């Protein structure tokens, strides 16, 4: 296992569109890809100059304990998903190993255990026990409303032989309704929420089908659309400006994308028109306006990112890989105007890498997280600020890797040399500006950092400390924001204290 954090530049985000992210089914070349929503918060407070305190405790934020993996369930039995609600609550769902149930975990931002869990049950009756198939999809449907959609097969009376079913929650995923039959589509492997409807699509069928229905339908929906007639291998759906982007790849190694604008009849084939065919490329994921593909040939490694403008996709951008990269597994989530790409490096111990871009031309440095060798389904569950977690939906136990934003911190001394017994000002600047955030001044002693004093960021992200005239090496640490930001570590500055020159005689 390795855990190396490379600080990434702050990205500017447009107002996010409502979106859900599709994901890839597993293949011998690439595994899964997926998605979701959070909140960037800032308050107001005043800056102060901290009074010095004695060095007593070792810094708790070093090295980045907030990035440690944590357990969100006993074990998963297949592909699941997650969503971030407007209030920041994370809702995760994964099917059980038996397939007869799916378990929902509700998390508060920054928490490392489920605040509550709920168990969803497949149909049982007439001496028969159904099971859930495909992917357990959870969708934010407005405010505190949450819907989980699954395929229930095969004895549920309506629809006969099984189909799509919905479980609804009106309280952030604490409790759910009973199973509601929703559509007769055979398979749920991708889902999104658009124009007030749940839209789902299966994978590995004879053709690419899409079906839409309300979260609480009065009757089972039987109409569906066929956006393209090629045999589907993998499926991914997302919401783009209220419409639906549907992506699939065929058995010949080509990715096809169709779009039905907002206001369309999503169950009508005529609503969908082709916006891209990418030959020799298999589908990894589509998310918001971003599409991630990888070469269909196992000889060529890597992945390509394209952006949709409402009419067509732009040119392909090669996704940067680590020098030791192998044909690993790719995941994608777009939040606002930023695409977050995840790469599971098979050559380097299955460590997770991530990088971001707003245009495909300029990329953040690679960030390396923990290994995910026990998982075959990885789900990014990120909010608008890009913070959240990476959900290992079928590992044992179920694990979550926090994904947090970096903080940039810089400090300087008003004077680097002072007389013993005097003092000088150490000032700093942090970004992003988190008004009132705790800032700790630390000094280095025998290779370890020790707390000296604390203050708070101003509304401008500034802070300062008065430091005494003794020779010390200092740094500043900005506290982490649970669920949103990492600890921020500044540069080091050396203050040198010298004796006052003795007065000359005469």
Query: What is the model's pLDDT at position 53?
Result: 38
Query: What is the model's pLDDT at position 445?
Result: 95
User: Cis (ω within 30 of 0) for the bond into 94?
Assistant: no
Q: For residue 296, what are its two tokens?
A: 């269909």
CA 77 – CA 75 distance, rounded (Å):
7
Question: What is the tens place of the pLDDT at every residue in 445-478?
Answer: 999 999 999 999 999 999 999 999 999 999 999 9
Question: Helix (H, G, I), strand (E, B), or coil: what is residue 308?
Answer: strand
CA 168 – CA 175 distance, rounded (Å):
8
Question: Helix (H, G, I), strand (E, B), or coil: what is residue 22?
Answer: coil
Q: For residue 156, what are its two tokens?
A: 């549920």
Domains belonging to the chain, first-starting first, are: 41-76+405-506 (2.60.40.10)
CB of 155 within 8 A of CB of 125?
A: yes
Q: How many CB atoms lie within 10 A of CB 45?
A: 13
> If we measure between CA atoms, which residue out of 137, 136, 85 comes closest to residue 107?
85
CA 247 – CA 276 distance, rounded (Å):
9
CB of 269 within 8 A of CB of 225?
A: yes
493-498 and 417-419: which strand pairing?
A: parallel
DSSP code per residue over 213-280: E-SS-SS-B---EEEE-SPPSEEEEEEETTEEEEEEE-TTSEEEEEEE-TTS-TT-GGG-EEEEEEET
CA 15 – CA 78 distance, rounded (Å):
33
User: Cis (ω within 30 of 0) for the bond into 58?
Assistant: no
Question: What is the tens place of the pLDDT at every residue in 141-176?
Answer: 999 999 999 999 999 998 888 899 999 999 999 999
CB of 163 within 8 A of CB of 186?
A: yes
Query: What is the model's pLDDT at position 449?
Result: 93
pTM attached to this predicted model: 0.83
Task: Indicate the burial class of 84 (C-beta count within 10 angstroms; 0-12, 13-18, 19 or more).
Answer: buried
- Which residues in 313-468 belong to E strands, given as ranges? 317-318, 329-335, 338-345, 351-357, 367-371, 378-382, 388-392, 398-403, 408-413, 417-419, 423-431, 438-445, 448-456, 462-468
CA 144 – CA 215 distance, rounded (Å):
14
- Write b or e for each residue in 51-72: b if 16 or more Cβ atoms lie within 10 A of its Cβ, otherwise e: eeeebeeebebeebebbebeeb
- What is the chain's pLDDT, residue by residue, as a tens digit (506 residues)? 333 333 332 222 222 222 223 333 333 223 222 222 222 222 222 333 343 433 333 444 556 888 999 999 887 777 899 999 999 999 999 999 889 999 999 999 999 999 999 999 999 998 999 999 989 999 999 999 999 999 999 999 988 888 999 999 999 999 999 999 999 998 899 999 999 999 999 876 667 899 999 999 999 999 999 998 887 788 999 999 999 999 999 888 899 999 999 999 999 999 999 999 999 999 999 999 999 999 887 666 789 999 999 999 999 999 988 766 666 678 899 998 999 999 888 777 788 889 999 999 999 998 888 888 877 778 999 999 999 999 988 788 899 999 999 999 999 999 999 999 999 999 999 999 999 999 999 999 999 999 999 999 999 999 999 999 999 999 999 999 999 999 999 999 999 999 988 887 76
User: H or E stretch including 478?
Assistant: strand 472-478
CB of 159 within 8 A of CB of 187?
A: no
Sign of the four-CA dihedral 208, 311, 339, 347: positive
Half-sphere exposure for 70 (CA within 13 Å, toward CB): 17
Contacts with 498 (C-beta within 8 Å, 6 or more apart), sequence order: 417, 418, 419, 420
CA 398 – CA 97 distance, rounded (Å):
12
Q: For residue 254, what are its two tokens?
A: 């080509």
């Amino acid at each position: 296992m390795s855990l190396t954090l490379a600080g990434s530049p702050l990205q500017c985000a447009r107002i996010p569109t409502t979106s859900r992210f599709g994901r890839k089914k597993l293949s011998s070349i690439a595994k899964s890809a997926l998605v979701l929503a959070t909140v960037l918060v800032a308050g107001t407070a005043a800056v102060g100059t901290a009074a010095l305190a004695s060095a007593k405790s070792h810094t708790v934020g070093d090295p980045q304990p907030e990035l440690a993996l944590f357990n969100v369930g006993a074990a998963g039995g297949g592909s699941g998903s997650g969503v971030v609600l407007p209030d920041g609550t994370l809702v995760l769902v994964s099917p059980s190993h038996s397939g007869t149930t799916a378990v929902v975990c509700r998390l508060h931002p920054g928490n490392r255990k489920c605040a509550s869990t709920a168990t969803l049950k497949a149909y049982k009756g007439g001496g028969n026990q159904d099971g859930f198939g495909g992917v357990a999809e959870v969708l934010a449907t407005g405010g505190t409303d949450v819907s989980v959609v699954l395929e229930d097969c095969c004895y549920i009376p309506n629809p006969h032989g099984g189909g799509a079913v919905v479980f609804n929650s009106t309280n952030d995923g604490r409790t759910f309704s009973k199973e509601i039959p929703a559509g007769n589509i055979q398979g749920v492997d991708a889902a999104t929420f658009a124009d007030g409807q749940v839209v789902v699509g299966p994978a590995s069928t004879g053709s690419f089908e899409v079906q839409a229905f309300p979260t609480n339908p009065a009757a089972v929906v039987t109409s569906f659309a066929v956006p393209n007639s090629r045999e589907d291998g993998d499926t991914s759906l997302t919401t783009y400006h209220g419409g639906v982007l549907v992506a699939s790849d065929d058995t010949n190694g080509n990715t096809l994308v169709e779009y039905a604008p907002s206001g369309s009849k999503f169950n009508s084939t005529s609503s969908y028109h082709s916006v891209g065919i990418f030959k020799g490329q298999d589908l990894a994921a589509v998310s918001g306006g971003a599409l991630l593909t990888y070469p269909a040939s196992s000889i060529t490694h890597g992945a390509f990112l394209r952006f949709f403008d409402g009419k067509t996709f732009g040119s392909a951008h090669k996704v940067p890989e680590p020098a030791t990269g192998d044909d690993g597994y790719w995941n994608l989530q777009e939040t606002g105007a930023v695409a977050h790409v995840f790469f599971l490096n098979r050559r380097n111990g299955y460590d997770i890498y991530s990088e971001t871009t707003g245009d495909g031309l300029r990329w953040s440095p690679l960030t390396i997280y923990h290994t995910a060798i026990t998982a075959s389904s990885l789900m990014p569950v990120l909010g608008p600020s890009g913070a959240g977690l990476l959900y290992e939906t079928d590992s044992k136990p179920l694990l979550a890797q926090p994904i947090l934003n970096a903080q940039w911190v810089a400090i300087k001394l008003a004077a680097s040399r002072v007389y013993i017994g005097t003092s000088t000002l150490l000032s700093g600047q942090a970004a992003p500006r988190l008004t009132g955030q705790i800032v700790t001044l630390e000094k280095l002693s025998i290779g370890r950092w020790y707390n000296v004093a604390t203050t708070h960021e101003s509304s401008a992200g500034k802070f300062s400390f008065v430091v005494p005239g003794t020779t010390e090496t200092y740094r500043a640490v900005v506290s982490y924001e649970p669920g949103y930001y990492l600890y921020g570590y500044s540069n080091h500055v050396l203050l040198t204290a010298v004796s006052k020159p003795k007065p000359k005689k005469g």
